[in-house]
Amino acid sequence: MFVHAPADRPSKAPLVVVLHGCTQSAEDYASPAGWLDLADRFGFVVLAPEQTRANNPNLCFNWYLPGEGQAGPREARSIAAMIAQAVETFDLDAGRVFVTGLSAGGAMTATLLATYPDLFAGGAVMAGLAHGSARSMAAAFSAKAGQTDADARELGSRVRGSSGRTGPWPTVSVWHGQSDTIVRPAAGEALARQWCDVHGIVDAPKTARIPAGRDFLVWMDPQGRPAVELHRIVGMGHGTPVKANGPDSCGGASTYTPETGASSSLRSRSAGGSPRRTVVLRPTRRLPTVRPVG
């Protein structure tokens, strides 16, 4: 459990939980994705759980293991315990907790939103998969290929059956490269359909084409509020899109945070409020360590 907590953050600051992808450490992802920069700029706290090789040799979060879909005593439960500790230790706003992740971390983001929906105001899934897409490693590979026979109702039922919650539900933002060969774009489309069904959305989305090469769709819930987003990044492979230079930039380009001219972290940041200063304070090289949970 690693935490980046700006010293001059406001009282009852928000919390953003950031989940890395396979082969990465917590800082390997949180820093280039821009979350540490944004925490300093906007005054929120970042919690970055880090997988161990004892749990997974490739450092992937085990989103597909049995028990993860029923809030069982596995990794989702451990991350939920970390969130509770961070909220208490840093005196954060429990009503403004958000979660995001890449690839396996994105799939775990979807699992957390489904199994602990009361903990989160919203989440952003980068190159991830719908909750309940797999219950074994073999099934996980099929899910990554975008293979599913489930319709929207079945996908939504997997979320509703994981917590017993009847609402309100977290908002969900889905980002997926249209040239992703590791987790196929169809997996992101299924994730968007899943949460549209959970939110009871029946209307067509509002759509836009962004000059930087991004198709943007947003679905409104029955009350007319934005509930589900889908961002299709044309020409991008597997990763989290960033804008490393120029206005509205944050983070840095790397293998799994490709430069696209679109900052997904800044765009999906839901902590609210305007920057309290124009100078971005660079974070320390290593995130401060907080006592591990369980």
pLDDT tens digits for range 152-184: 999 999 999 998 888 799 999 999 999 999 999
Residue 283 reports pLDDT greater than 90: no
Domain with 86, as residue range(s), is 2-268
CATH number of the domain to which 41 belongs: 3.40.50.1820
153/164 Cα distance (integer angstroms): 16
Indicate whether 289 belongs to any domain.
no
Supply the pLDDT for residue 257: 95
**98-112 tens-digit pLDDT:** 999 999 999 999 999
Residue 2 reports pLDDT greater than 80: yes
Residue 288 reports pLDDT greater than 60: no
Torsion of Cα atoms, 243 then 194 then 19 then 78, to 10°: 160
Mean of the per-residue pLDDT values for the chain?
86
Confidence tier at 195 by pLDDT (50, 70, 90): very high
Tokens of 15: 């919390």
Give mean pLDDT, residues 70-78: 72
Number of domains observed in the structure of the chain? 1
Indicate whether 145 belongs to any domain.
yes
Tokens of 192: 């968007």
Residue 285 reports pLDDT greater than 50: no
Supply the pLDDT for residue 112: 95
Please report the sign of the dihedral spanned by the C-alpha atoms of residue 151, residue 153, residue 156, residue 161.
negative
CB under 8 Å to 153, separation ≥6 — which residues?
A: 197
Please report the sign of the dihedral spanned by the C-alpha atoms of residue 44, residue 261, residue 100, residue 117.
positive
Indicate whether 56 belongs to any domain.
yes
List the end-to-end C-alpha distance of the chain, in Å, as a whole number.
Answer: 10
Supply the pLDDT for residue 50: 95
Residue 124: CB atoms within 10 Å: 28
Q: What share of the chain is helix, strand, coil (3-state, %, to 5)?
A: 30, 20, 50
Residue 69 reports pLDDT greater than 60: no
Q: Is this model's pTM higher than 0.85 or not?
A: yes
Percent of the chain past pLDDT 90, that is, above it, reads 66
More confident residue, 291 or 227: 227
Indicate whether 285 belongs to any domain.
no
Kindly list the catalytic residues: 103
Indicate whether 127 belongs to any domain.
yes
- Is residue 51 within 8 A of residue 59, CB to CB? The reply is yes
Residue 269 reports pLDDT greater than 70: no
CA proximity to 63, closest of 102, 25, 100, 107 = 107
Query: 104-115 vs 152-163: helix axis angle to the nearest 10?
Result: 60
